Structure 1
Amino acid sequence: MHFICERSVLNEALHILQNVVGTNTTLPILSNILVEVSDKKELTLTATNLEVGIQFKLDVEVKDQGTCTLPGRKLFEMTKEMAGEKIEIEVSSDYIGIIKSGNAVFRLMGLSSDEYPRLPRLDKVHTAKLTASVLRDLLKKTAYAISSDEARYVLNGVYFIVAKGDVVVVATDGRRLAMVKKKTEIDPNLDAGIILPAKTVNELMRILHGDIEVEILFSETQVGFKLANMLMISRLIEGKFPNYDQVIPKKTKESVVIQKEEFQNIIRRVSLINTGKSNLVKFRFNDGSLTLTASNPDVGEAKDDMSIEYKGDDFVIAFNPVYLLDALKILDDEQINFEFSESTAPGVLKSGDDFTYVIMPMKLR
């Protein structure tokens, strides 16, 4: 196998592939990347950890076709540090790769490709298209609420729904729920609901940028994301996602418009007094103001307030400030709506017409 290509193009692909290179000690070959050169002037690079697989197809100058596997992270590090515009890779029959660029030459030990797992084929596929920036925004506004509790495995990802031309993405860990809804031009007859694993969501958020079109390929147990010269295929989480609609309060007694940045800053300041054992902040709404207080018997106390347009009764509720900050820091709107009813009922944070965040209160003490 022997080919020449643009070093920057190869390195860009390897930068993404090395994030999914496996560390499975029972299958050492998963730490390698599958390298295939065809007689069609095309290089195919594949990496998988058996949960997520990514494949790139690159245009190259083919000297000799063939296939092998090379250590993924080392290959990325080498191509990153080399200085030449072009890179030349030649692999011998005993899978030793000679990598040249500029004045640098590396000798890299590879393995046969015979035992490397191929990406699964997607059968009975339904498709939908979104721009990369829209898909990334949907995931960014929900991913932080994914549960890490493996006992509740259906919550270890985001629920991704396509119905009536809308896309709805939901995540919850049982203490808060994030939901975002987007009207799209997707075929209104397409009806699909899948649970995307957290690893897949994180990889997508790393990869997706700009207004490039992403084709989403839905099948029964897998999902694919195709953009430009890249294909990602992921396993789905099997099971039934909880009825998220039941968690969202249909009515609340009060709704307050709050300046997002000031609200975010005051929460961050007051929560500085908290430690791991004490992570509660009280929110007191009274005529024209919102006062935040926190106390820690080992550290001290904190208090701060801000002006708001509120004319209701004096009201106190407590939340974990980390959960509120997680949502606030990913929102772009200058103002948010904060809704509440009782100190023991969930609070609801809304931004625009598409984002809803439900957060369970903490017990007042």
Structure 2
Amino acid sequence: MKFVCNKDDILNEILYSMDFTSQRNSLSITSNVYLETSGGRLIIRATDQKLGFSTEIAVETLQAGKTTVFCEKLLNILRSLPDTKIDFSLEDGMLTIKPEEQNIDFKLRTIGADEFPSLENSESSSYFTIPQKSFTDMANQTMFAISEDETRYFLCGLYLERNASGMNMVATDGRRLSIVERTFEEDLPMFPSIIIPPKFFTELKKLSTDEGMLDLAITENILFAKIGNRTFYTTLIKGQYPNYRRVIPETQTYTCTMRIQDMLDALKRVSLLVENKAKRIFLDISESGVLLTSDESEVGEAKEIIACQYEGPDTKVSLNYTYLVNPLKVMEGEYFSISFTEPTRAMTVKPDSNKDYFHIIMPMQPNA
């Protein structure tokens, strides 16, 4: 096996591959990256058995062959080399890495390519296409509401389902819920509802340019994605996702509208004196404004009033302030609204514009 390629070309792909390897055990074959060259192409693969990645780049193939090498060491070596063409050659189980016209010579031990696990694959005919930016935006509006309670593993991912004209994406941890109901101009096939691990979206954001299209394929157990020459996939979370629509209020009596930035700034300041683990603050909503108050503690107390538009009775709400901060950070527009009927029942938070997403927050009990 011998090939020559530009440093930057292979460095970029090995950098992406690193995230798909098993990094806890350097002796595991899944800590290695798979390299195979023939016909002027280099195929690169990586997997940790739950996620997989495959890509290819143009190289000068001098001798076809394949092997695997410890990904982290290869990445560190490539980063250290000067920007030039690099010669790679495999002999006696050692991969030699040598920049052209440089007195630099690295040798890395390899493991035979036959020991590398096979990657999942999907038929090309099963892919459908949607805009990259639209799909990543859906994740941005929901990911923060994913549960971290592994005993309720089915809530530890993003729920994706087909709707009449597009897709819904949902996340909930039982105390809050975020949902995007998006329409797509593209013709989407019917597919089963799935629960996607959050790491898939972490990698998608790294690989996505937010321009152009994203190809997706959904099977019973796997979600595949393609961007250009790069293909990656994740195994799906098994389990029955709860009927989330049961917690969405059909109607609510009162609505309070405020500037997004006003609330974010006030929450940032008032939360400085929040000492309780529940991260509780109080909102006193009245026609004269919204008073934010921290719990009084040994440290002290913080209060701030922001302007609002509201018609209704004075209402005191207790909630985890991060449940407001997280959606407001990614919300579009200048204003948002909180709609409610009673201070202890579900509240709806949404942008004060015609957007396709909203958030449900369960307040705390006053004496909790």
**TM-score, normalised via structure 2 length:** 0.93
Distance 1:27 1:94 in 2: 16
User: CA–CA distance in 2 between the matches of 1:203 and 1:3?
Assistant: 28
**Pairwise CA distance, 1:278:** 5.3
Q: Distance between the aligned counterparts of 1:102 and 1:360, measured in 2?
A: 65
Corresponding residue for residue 353 of structure 1: 355
Please say if residues 222 and 235 of structure 1, whose CA atoms lie closer than 8 Å, have aligned partners that are also in contact: yes
Provide Cα deviations, 1:263-296, integer angstroms capped at 9, x if missing partner: 1111111111013535210001111311100124
How many angstroms apart in 2 are the aligned matches of 1:354 and 1:48?
Answer: 35
Equivalent residue for 1:362? 364
Conserved? CA contact 1:84–1:102, under 8 Å: no
Residue 319 in 1 paired to residue 319 in 2?
yes
In the TM superposition, residue 77 of structure 1 has moved relative to its aligned partner by 1.9
Residue 6 of structure 1 corresponds to 6
Question: 2:52 maps to what in 1?
Answer: 53
- CA offsets per residue over residues 37-66 of structure 1, 9 Å max, x none? 12x211111111111001111111111111
Matching of residues 21-36 of structure 1 within 5 Å: 21-23=21-23, 25=25, 28-36=28-36
Match of 1:201 in 2: 201
Alignment of 1:251-290 (within 5 A): 251-277=251-277, 279-290=279-290
Contact 1:292 1:304 in 2 (8 A): yes
Cα 1:125–1:340, aligned 2, differ >3 Å: closer, same or farther?
farther
Task: Report the equivalent of 1:72.
Answer: 71
SS at match of 2:322: helix
Cα distance in 2 for partners of 1:312, 1:45 equals 62
Cα deviation digits, residues 210-265 of structure 1 (max 9, x gap):
21211101111111001101000210111221111111111111122211111111
Which consecutive residues of structure 1, in runs of 5 or more, have no partner in the other structure?
none
CA contact (8 A) 2:191 2:218 kept: no
* Greater mean deviation of Cα atoms: 170-179 or 2-11: 2-11
Letter in 2 for 1:74: K
Structure 2 stretches lacking a partner, 5+ long: none
Closer/same/farther in 2, CA of residues 19 and 296 from structure 1, 3 Å limit:
farther
Counterpart in the other structure of 1:291: 291
CA distance in 2, matches of 1:325, 1:129: 33
Structure 2 contact 88–95 (Cα < 8 Å) conserved:
no
Quote the offset at 1:101 in angstroms: 5.4
Count of equivalent residues: 364
Which AA in structure 2 matches 1:157?
Answer: G
Q: Report which stretch shifted further, 182-191 or 2-11.
A: 182-191
Partner of 2:157: 157
- Asked if 1 retains the 8 angstrom alpha-carbon contact of 2:142 and 2:180, the reply is yes
Secondary structure of 1:342's counterpart equals coil
Aligned counterparts of 1:189 and 1:37: Cα–Cα separation in 2: 36
Which residue does 1:96 correspond to in 2? 95
Identity %: 27
Classify the secondary structure of the residue corresponding to 1:50.
Answer: coil
